[in-house]
């Protein structure tokens, strides 16, 4: 029997680190294991294959597995053992963050991309970027602000979500976050950003040429009612985020 990890959904995972065997041995052991798992009522079998184990992929495909997820160094395949249990779809979206960093003077931290007009608040963008593997929204928001401006900030809450259907790529889900600065210093990373600066939020909203999306986000941030992060795993066994309205009282 192959060594597996059981999950809470009635499935098992064959991890890549346990597959130091030949393709012939793998075919025999996987076939025997599948028969046993079917008798046990296992619903789904997940198989992780590292790049150096590509010899095992044809074996898995012949035994009914299909491709599910792909990373630069690892492929994940899966097979249903119970009819109708269904396999979750592979990841369909990229997830990113954009941050409204508001200071006590009512100014917002902005970063224009290369080529934008330097003195027009309407052309300014907010710092942000894509989440790294395993990164939480709050961690990513704080990291991207610091990496692009050198401003250290505290995460306050979630203002909203923006969904952008894909154009030649996967759709994008963007979390709009509210942060408060711990310092006011700015160091532009000139390999990516032309100039970062504090801009009066009210002045930005008053300009007719302010981008509509930026106007909406700033208005929501100034309203001061972000969804607050709450602890949902007090045992500390896993990293997880949940955002809920702040309760009064």
What confidence score (pLDDT) does residue 247 get? 65
Domain 5-80: give its CATH code. Answer: 3.40.630.30
What confidence score (pLDDT) does residue 238 get? 59
What confidence score (pLDDT) does residue 17 get? 80
| Two tokens, residue 199 | 């801009």
Mean pLDDT (whole number) for 55-80: 92
The residue length of the chain stands at 249
pLDDT per position as a tens digit, 92-126? 788 999 999 999 999 999 887 655 545 554 467 89
pLDDT per position as a tens digit, 205-241? 888 877 788 888 888 888 888 998 886 665 655 567 8
What confidence score (pLDDT) does residue 121 get? 46
Dist CA 132 CA 14 (whole Å) = 25
Dist CA 114 CA 171 (whole Å) = 25
Predicted confidence (pLDDT) at residue 81 exceeds the cutoff of 50: yes
Residue 156: alpha-carbon gap to chain centroid: 18
pLDDT per position as a tens digit, 33-49? 999 999 999 999 999 99
Of 11-25, 81-95, 116-130, the least confident: 116-130
What confidence score (pLDDT) does residue 248 get? 59
Can you spell out the DSSP letters for 164-229? E--SSS--EEEEEEEEEES-------TTT-S--EEEEHHHHHH-TTS-HHHHHHHHHHHHT-PBEE
What confidence score (pLDDT) does residue 235 get? 60
| Two tokens, residue 148 | 């692009």
What confidence score (pLDDT) does residue 21 get? 83
| Cα R_g (the chain), whole angstroms | 24
Q: Do domains 5-80 and 94-231 have the same CATH topology?
A: no
Residue recorded with tokens 């997880």: 240
What confidence score (pLDDT) does residue 232 get? 66
Which pLDDT band, with edges at 50, 70 and 90, does 150 fall under?
confident
Instruction: Give pTM, 2 decimals.
Output: 0.69
What's the fold here for domain 94-231? Nucleoside Triphosphate Pyrophosphohydrolase (3.90.79)
For residue 97, which phi and psi values (nearest 5 degrees)? -130, 150
Where exactly are the structural domains of the chain? 5-80, 94-231
Select from 171, 179, 176 the least CA-distant residue to 161.
176
């Amino acid at each position: 029997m192959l060594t597996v990890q059981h999950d809470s959904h009635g499935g098992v995972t064959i991890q890549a680190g346990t597959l130091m065997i030949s393709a012939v041995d793998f075919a025999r052991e996987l076939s025997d294991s599948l028969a046993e798992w079917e008798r046990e009522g296992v619903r789904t079998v997940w198989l992780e294959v590292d790049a150096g184990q590509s010899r095992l992929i044809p074996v898995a495909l012949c035994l009914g597995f299909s491709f599910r997820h792909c990373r630069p160094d690892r492929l994940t395949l899966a097979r249903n053992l119970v009819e109708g249990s269904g396999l979750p779809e592979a990841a369909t979206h990229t997830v990113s963050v954009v941050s409204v960093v508001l200071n006590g003077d009512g100014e917002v931290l902005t970063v224009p991309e290369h080529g934008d007009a330097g003195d027009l608040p309407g052309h300014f963008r907010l710092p942000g970027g894509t989440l790294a593997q395993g990164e939480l929204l709050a961690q990513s928001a704080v990291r991207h602000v610091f990496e692009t401006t050198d401003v250290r900030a505290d995460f306050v809450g979630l203002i909203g979500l923006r969904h952008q259907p894909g154009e030649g790529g996967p759709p994008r889900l963007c979390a709009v976050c509210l942060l408060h600065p711990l310092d006011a210093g700015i160091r532009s990373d000139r390999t990516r950003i032309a100039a970062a600066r504090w801009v009066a939020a009210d002045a930005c909203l008053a300009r007719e040429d302010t981008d509509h999306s930026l106007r909406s986000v700033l208005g929501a941030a100034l309203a001061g009612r972000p969804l607050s992060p709450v602890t949902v795993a007090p045992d500390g066994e896993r990293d997880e985020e949940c955002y809920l309205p702040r309760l009064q009282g």
